[in-house]
Amino acid sequence: MHTTTLGRTGLRVSVAGLGCGGFSRLGLSTGKTAAEATALVRLAIDSGITLIDTAAQYGTEEIVGEAIRHVPRDSVVLATKCLTVLDGAPTTAARLAESIEASLRALGTDYIDVFQLHGVSPERYDRAMTDLLPELIRAREAGKIRFLGITESGGNDRSHTMLQQAVTDGVWDVGMVAFNMLHRTASDHLFPATQAAGVGTLVMHAVRSIFARPDFLAASIRELAATGVVPARLAASDAPLDFLVHAGGAASVTEAAYRFARHSAGVDVVLFGTGSADHLRANIESLNRPPLPAADLAELLDLFGNVSGLGLESPKS
């Protein structure tokens, strides 16, 4: 497993991170048992993954806690989160403190490596700074969390407005950003700033339904062609990204998407969700492969450089 340093945290982590939410929630969303989900997390660790990202909202903290119970605590980097709106009301400092304590109990640990405010929209950022940041700092000073993180709201903040502000404030050690081959706006609008500031980056949405479903991808590209965002000739193709799949390139569009995200400047860790051992192994293999050929990247940018907002679909509640 290839490793990297997560920004200024100094944490040495795997470039592949296990996401415990998303569509699958470690397989729980598709009928897997808690024991099967726990075994999947253990397989990820045995395969070299050292960063595990979960959240109270996902309902998987206990599974992660059980999976890491028999490994040295310093061999894994745990990231979890709390929403800034709970039960329809803005999260208070007291509720945040309760969430941190609940996550510590569920994970079975004395400290959380990266505690993140979850899905912060631009309009909620100022309140997060004034009302919630002081509580995070108190928890850090008490040794309950090591580093502060913040995650954007994906499709609701396509220009990364919140994270652009967060980077300049200098208090956030890690940011989670939506980024993929058809939503590469962070390369222009965010990653230069995170690199300059030493803010670690966790990438979500590197691969979502659009890259795994040829029909969905083709239909989305046709819509873009109809509005002139991409060349009109792409509307005639049922496989508009298949130029990436060839003997010297990627084995599949999904693999290409993982390799694109993994080797983009400014990306530290690419998160992926999974519900099966085979899928987990395949994703790790993709993320350990080298960059896409330069000619393929150039064509990708030429055809889709003006595209944004695709591949950000969210799981149904």
Helical (H) or strand (E) element with 63: helix 61-67
Strands 145-152 and 85-86: unpaired
Q: Sign of torsion, CA 121 125 126 130?
A: positive
Strand partners, 162: none
Q: What is the 3-state secondary structure (H, E, C) of 213-261?
A: CHHHHHHHHHHHHHCCCCCHHHHHCCCCCHHHECCCCECCHHHHHHHHH
Catalytic residue among 58, 111, 125, 258: 58
Residue 68 exposure: Cα atoms within 13 Å on the Cβ side = 26
258 is catalytic: no
Tell me 276's DSSP state.
S
Burial 162-176 (b: 16+ CB within 10 A, else e): bbbbbbeeeebbbbb
Distance CA 227, CA 77 (A): 44
CA 140 to chain centre: 23
Distance CA 36, CA 28 (A): 9
**Nearest Cα residue to 121 out of 97, 152, 90, 75:** 152
Helical (H) or strand (E) element with 193: helix 191-197
3-state secondary structure of 189: helix
Tell me 117's DSSP state.
E
Strand partners, 285: none
Tell me 183's DSSP state.
B
Distance CA 241, CA 215 (A): 12
Give me the active site residues, please: 58
